Amino acid sequence: MLQPAISHRHDVVIVGARAAGAATALLLGRLGYDVVLVDRAEFPADTVSTHQLARTGVVALHRWGLLESVLAGGAPAIRQVTFSAAGESVTRQIKLKSGVDLLVAPRRYLLDTLMAEAAAGAGVDVRMGLTVGGVCLDDAGRAVGVYGRDRAGHPVEIAARYVVGADGLGSRVARSVGAEVVEHRGDRTAVHYAYVAGVPWTGIELIVAERALAGVFPTHHGEACVWICTPTADARMARRAADSRAAAFGAQLRRAAPDLAARIRAGHRTSAVIAMLRLPNLRRQAFGPGWALVGDAGYHRDPITGYGLSDAYRDAELLAAALDQVLCGERDELGALAGYQRCRDVASQEIFDLTCALADYPAVPEFIELQKELGHAIDRDAAALAARPNPSERELART
């Protein structure tokens, strides 16, 4: 679609106001740029997501001054993790590293709303209920804005120097600009989860069994998200053998984590069972003329490592810093955005590799060793983020 004549052009329009999009907007807004953030949803609104933040994600919230707000909103501070396998359990306290000594698992309808409100507080023009139909391209094929419809169905066009797609795995921005999938490493895992109350939750729980990883993370209102990851084929088999999704979920938990299944029966489920099947491990080209991708739009991984939110927040910092370099004239577009993609790929590589290895569901002893490697990799990623200049602080972002 050719760019229409529009009198005002913004610095950046960001499509998708959840984790990666709201964070990128917040950081650019704090730097004083003219940013529009749009989403088809009306917040507060939930989304399908496992939402326990690893240390890297907590470090990001702490850096941006939002961690206390998340905790004040009712998300419990999680200070211990229990890991169980082969009939044995080990509980460890969360140590102080990279400036944080807790984990947190806020519900997305609360976390995403808080982030979007923080972006608005930084001067970002937040427009909810706006569905983007595609990207406006000029005669040279450069992205110069987006078009879509508002909540009343009226056509809307937003012109901008840069378009950022933060609109998830099925990104319309990525499709509109022809962003290439540069790496695809399969889609083998299914995850099922539900919320449970009436049980005392003391921290995160991870339970390893043959061809399964089950777990718990406490969240708001005394509830916990109880989940299980299995190969997709196993999940489909369980569903065929049961008369409902909830029954299949219960059967999978009884097989992989019988003690947890028994505890859940002592409480009560407060939600439907939610399922995600065939979740891909892929990376897309992260930038092109006038556009960039961030979050699941550009890099998606199996949820078995629970790292999607942490990746999104880290990469939002990387993209905000790169766009700042371009918009202030410090660096050319190609150099800055290619640098963003390189940093994204280097920062994500170790955990991406471990995610794919875990998604093969090796025998329990090998799975446990991979989990140990994952813990060390997360600590390194969090430390690297904590050491970076904060892109929302101009005097530091350009050092």
Residue 222 included in any domain: yes
What does the pLDDT read at residue 3?
Answer: 43
Q: Give the confidence band of 396 by pLDDT, cuts at 50, 70, 90.
A: very low
Q: What is the mean pLDDT of residues 114-127?
A: 98
Residue 2 included in any domain: no
Q: Does residue 398 surpass a pLDDT of 80?
A: no
What does the pLDDT read at residue 331?
Answer: 97
Q: Does residue 20 surpass a pLDDT of 60?
A: yes
194 and 238 assigned to the same domain:
yes
pLDDT tens-digit readout, 329-366: 999 999 999 999 999 999 999 999 999 999 999 999 99
Cα three-residue angle 205-208-214, rounded to 5 degrees? 55
SS3 95: coil
Contact 377, 371 (CB under 8 A): no
Exposure string for 21-36, b = 16+ CB within 10 A, e = fewer = bbbbbbbbbbbebbbb
Residue 1 included in any domain: no
pLDDT tens-digit readout, 151-192: 999 999 999 999 999 999 999 999 999 999 999 999 989 999
What does the pLDDT read at residue 310?
Answer: 97
Instruction: Tokens for 371, please give them.
Output: 């989990």
Structure-token match 């706006």, residue found: 130
Q: Is the peptide bond before 155 cis (omega within 30 degrees of 0)?
A: no
71 and 142 assigned to the same domain:
yes
Q: What is the mean pLDDT of residues 70-99?
A: 96
* Domain count along the chain: 2
What does the pLDDT read at residue 399?
Answer: 38
Contact 116, 23 (CB under 8 A): no
Q: Are strands 125-128 and 35-39 parallel, antiparallel or unpaired?
A: parallel
152 and 50 assigned to the same domain:
yes
What residues are paired with 196 via a beta bridge?
224, 269
In eight-state DSSP terms, residue 213 is E
Residue 3 included in any domain: no
Residue 134 included in any domain: yes
Q: What is the mean pLDDT of residues 105-111?
A: 98
The CA–CA distances, whole Å, from 195 to 49, 67, 218, 250, 271 equal 12, 23, 9, 13, 5
Domain termination site, one of 236, 254, 276 = 276
Domain termination site, one of 276, 293, 323 = 276
What does the pLDDT read at residue 394?
Answer: 61
What does the pLDDT read at residue 397?
Answer: 42
Q: What is the CATH number of the domain that holds 31?
A: 3.50.50.60
What does the pLDDT read at residue 86?
Answer: 87
**Angstrom distance (rounded) from CA 184 to CA 115:** 30
**Angstrom distance (rounded) from CA 174 to CA 62:** 30
Cα–Cα nearest to 346, from 303, 313, 314, 302: 314
Q: Does residue 395 surpass a pLDDT of 50?
A: no
What does the pLDDT read at residue 50?
Answer: 82
What does the pLDDT read at residue 278?
Answer: 81
Q: Give the confidence band of 8 by pLDDT, cuts at 50, 70, 90.
A: confident
Q: Does residue 386 surpass a pLDDT of 80?
A: yes
What does the pLDDT read at residue 307?
Answer: 95
Percent of the chain at pLDDT > 70 equals 97
The CA–CA distances, whole Å, from 327 to 37, 64, 160, 285, 342 equal 17, 21, 12, 21, 19
95 and 163 assigned to the same domain:
yes
Domain extent, residue 21, equals: 10-185+280-397
Residue 229 included in any domain: yes
What does the pLDDT read at residue 2?
Answer: 40
What does the pLDDT read at residue 10?
Answer: 98
302 and 346 assigned to the same domain:
yes
Q: What is the mean pLDDT of residues 216-227?
A: 97
Domain termination site, one of 276, 292, 324 = 276
Q: What is the CATH number of the domain that holds 250?
A: 3.30.9.40
